[in-house]
Amino acid sequence: MSLNLFDLTGKRALITGSSQGIGFALARGLAAAGALVIINGRDEAKAQAAAKTLTDEGADVEVLCFDATDHAGVRAAVDGFEEARGPIDILVNNAGMQHRMPLEDFPADAFERLLQTNVASVFHVGQACARHMIGRGKGKIVNIASVQTALARPGIAPYTATKGAVANLTKGMATDWAQHGLQCNALAPGYFDTPLNEALVNDPDFSAWLANRTPAGRWGNVEELVGTCIFLSSDASSFVNGTTIFVDGGITASL
């Protein structure tokens, strides 16, 4: 009986930025839990390739391409999908980017891109989906935060700012929308072996530092994010709202 709380059968889940990395792993995991997953990205070819991989594995998959930083484009895409295909029950706001440079040299245009990709996209897609969820009196929004939501590291101060904003925007979503039956939470990964972190993974000095700094002693594997995402997307989290769950091998818990 208790396992039924985690069953996503019959639910539709939109995962932004899901053609690779964490987004793709979460899409695969939600599909395994029974959801129909909606692959999203700006690159149609990459999104279709990701969808084919999951379809070949037996998943129910659709593709919905849009630029998550384009407010009007997001609204049109989400409204069109809802009208033509049915409700989006679960939204995972995963689209994000990184730019590493000392703060004193950080380009203003790169800072603006980080704000648009990492923060504004959460607002745009969150609002577009929530408008429909509110009308139905239910819905799940999972925003992907980061270990940098709580901690800073040299060279990525603007990224740290954006991920702090994601956690606080999540609190705001819950404060406004919990009364309408929505659960809005954030999942904060620690250091995971993904394309976004490729330069760090390939740096033996950094990997050694990370192993020493993280109580678990290693990089995370993206599959280890799936369980928490399923929890936040399912009935198991029906009274969990506005919180950020860190999946980081203990790095935010230790000095």
Under 8 Å CB-to-CB from 44, ≥6 apart: which residues? Answer: 63, 65
Q: How far apart are CA 222 and CA 207, in angstroms?
A: 16
Backbone angles phi, psi at 14, to 5 degrees: -95, 125
Look-up of token digits 């999942």: 187
Give me the residues paired with residue 50 across strands: none
Q: Terminus-to-terminus CA distance in the chain, angstroms? A: 40
Cα-based distances in Å from 127 to 81, 134, 233, 253: 15, 10, 17, 32
User: What size, in residues, is the chain?
Assistant: 255
Residue appearing with tokens 């280890």: 224
Choice among 159, 191, 192, 231 that is catalytic: 159
The angle at the Cα of 78, spanning 76 to 79, to the nearest 5 degrees, equals 65
Residue 62: what are its φ and ψ, rounded to 5°?
Answer: -130, 165
173: nearest Cα among 138, 122, 137:
122
Q: Respond yes or no: is residue 159 known to be catalytic.
A: yes
Instruction: Decide: helix, strand or coil at residue 175.
Output: helix
Q: Which of 71, 246, 99, 90 is nearest to 162 (CA)?
A: 99
Which of 95, 122, 97, 106 shows the shortest CA–CA distance to 26?
Answer: 95
Q: Which residues are catalytic?
A: 159
